[in-house]
Amino acid sequence: MKNTSLLVCALVLMTTLFTACGGSGQTEETVAADTTSTQPLNFGPLNKLSLNDATAEEFDMIPGVGRRMVREFLEYRPYVSIEQFRREIGKYVDADSVAAYEKYLYVPVDYNASDVATLSQIPGMTPEFAQSLIDGRPYADKVTFLAAVITVTNDGVLEQFARHYIVQEAAVQE
């Protein structure tokens, strides 16, 4: 009788664990270690996550990102250039992984300090356009910079992207 009760308890516990782990045969430890969200990030040029502002939960939505990489993303804040991101995160993963993360992330643009690579994160911004904008510095404010984007690129859509990618503090200073 005692052995039967223990067997029933063991079966109930195993069934509970199996169900809690999605029936995949994973243990509680492996489920806890897997932090990749089942809800995909709504990807698009205006849906990328700011490396300086996104939350750990938002970073978790990026395919292939686990707790360790989220911790690394947060540790190196504030990011001032995309090259800094590539260098720091490149210590942990290969260049292909870094490039894959960049499909979902960006370093906010400081219009008076960002380098060509960081400005080039703006969709449609070529290195030549970025260099022209750098050559026109300093900009008095965000509005002046955005007007320069339109002048240099002759593209109002690109200006809308630039507006999104600018450092948040710069937007408040208007």
**pTM of the predicted model as reported, rounded to 2 decimal places:** 0.72
Note the pLDDT of residue 29. Answer: 33
Question: Which of 107, 122, 154 is a domain's end point?
Answer: 107
Does residue 140 belong to any structural domain of this protein?
Answer: yes
**Domain that includes residue 167, residue range:** 110-174
Q: Which residues contact 92 (CB under 8 A, 6 or more apart)?
A: 68, 69, 72
Whether residue 171 sits in one domain with residue 142: yes
Whether residue 151 sits in one domain with residue 128: yes
Neighbours of 31 (CB within 10 A): 14
Mean pLDDT score, 101-113: 96
Whether residue 103 sits in one domain with residue 39: yes
Residue 66 has pLDDT above 60, yes or no: yes
- The chain-wide mean pLDDT, for the chain, equals 80
DSSP state of 166: B
State pLDDT tens for residues 5-49: 434 344 333 433 333 344 433 333 333 334 444 455 566 778 899
Question: Which of 77, 92, 107 is a domain's end point?
Answer: 107
Neighbours of 121 (CB within 10 A): 22
Mean pLDDT score, 68-84: 97
d(CA 8, CA 20): 18
Domain containing 48 — which CATH number?
A: 1.10.150
Whether residue 103 sits in one domain with residue 45: yes
d(CA 31, CA 38): 13
Whether residue 95 sits in one domain with residue 130: no
Question: Which of 51, 86, 107 is a domain's end point?
Answer: 107
Whether residue 147 sits in one domain with residue 124: yes
Whether residue 134 sits in one domain with residue 77: no
